[in-house]
Amino acid sequence: MLKLQLAGNAGASALWKKRNCLVRSSGRNLAMAEQSVVPRLKLGTQGLEVSKLGYGCMGLSGVYNNPVPEEEGIAVIKEAFNKGITFFDTSDVYGANNANEYLVGKALKQLPREKIQLSTKFGVVGYDTFKIVVKGSPEYVRSCCEASLKRLDVDYIDLYYIHRIDTTIPIEYTMGELGRLVQEGKIKHIGLSEANPDTIRRAHAVHPIAALETEYSLWTRDIEDEIIPLCRELGIGIVPYGPLGRGFLAGKAVVESVDPNSSLKNHPRLKGENFDKNKVIYFRLEALAKKHGCTPAQLALAWVLHQGDDVVPIPGTTKIKNLNDNIGALKVKLTKDDLKEISNAVPINEIAGSKSSSEVVHQVSWEFAKTPLPK
């Protein structure tokens, strides 16, 4: 009888262990399901697969506001990953003394590297009162890549962008060195940022371009006529930065005050008469958002997300609440008529003020990014 009881207890114990294993397994599966709320797609035609929504890490290192504490920045990046975002964007020029790359590198140490698509950039040497200094020489390309690999503490970079175009040398020279870095396995894909059509076509002829990062939002749509069609012709993915109009389309400066230390307070579209005119446009967007049962930020981001399966915006935020709101934009479904109505509510000819924060910044935007032909 005792043997039977022990056997029964052993059997019950085995069943209990099996049940616990199933419960733990279900928990892991549930966690994986939670991690998959952001769909995935191929960015361009070079085989780079990313989450449909990316995360721009720049703001964590104080470009617009004061830098957040390191542990808070890492927490935001980890939360983004846990929600299904795997495409993270940084640059060697973000933050004081390359702070953003160091921060992202530390966050990556707490995440599975093989599941992350990491993009960084080079090319902006520095700033002075009168211009942004840009460099794209082969020697500079290589030295920047090696330095970024060390700061990020990774063996390779998934997507390496030319941050701004050096108009003093042929783009072919810059691209040639980037191609060699691909061959060496130090970078997997090449991207351009703020490049004009001629530069895009010539660069792509040297080595396939995976993605173009450029400003694109409801209130900045100057790439629609020529650049987007060209990217689609060549199979280049489109990565919009500033998809929320520097936060204005989310209510920044309208329903939420701008930090007095923020550089945004001097943005041409956010001050004086320009701001008064642009507020009218925000309130139109707010009314449409109510109709769609979402926030203005979600509607503005959903509009960008609906521009095509080759479009992957990279909004940034320092707050987990805003991060979750941005992810919520993926649930906003818009028809062609909805998209047209939203576009009409934000007519480009009524936007007051330059898209660039200053003339110095404007001078390195895509309109001026033409390089000489090789000799």
Which 3 state secondary structure label does DSSP give 153?
Answer: coil
Q: Phi/psi of residue 79, each to 5°?
A: -65, -40
Euclidean distance between CA atoms 61 and 65, whole angstroms: 8
Q: Is 233 exposed, middle or buried (0-12, 13-18, 19+ CB in 10 A)?
A: exposed
Nearest to 327 by CA among 292, 295, 285: 295
Query: For residue 318, how many other CB atoms are within 10 A of its CB?
Result: 18
56 is written with which tokens? 């721009």
The sign of the dihedral angle between the CA atoms of 27, 28, 29, 34 is positive
Q: Within 13 Å of residue 134, how many CA atoms lie on the same side as its CB? A: 25
The span from the CA of 232 to the CA of 254, in Å, is 36
Distances (CA, A) of 157 to 114, 117, 178: 11, 8, 12
Please indicate whether residue 94 is annotated as part of the active site.
yes
Q: Max CA-CA distance within the chain?
A: 96
Catalytic choice (94, 102, 216, 282): 94
**H or E, element range at 190:** strand 187-193
Name the one residue in this structure whose structure tokens are 């895009």: 200
Q: Which residues are designated catalytic? A: 94
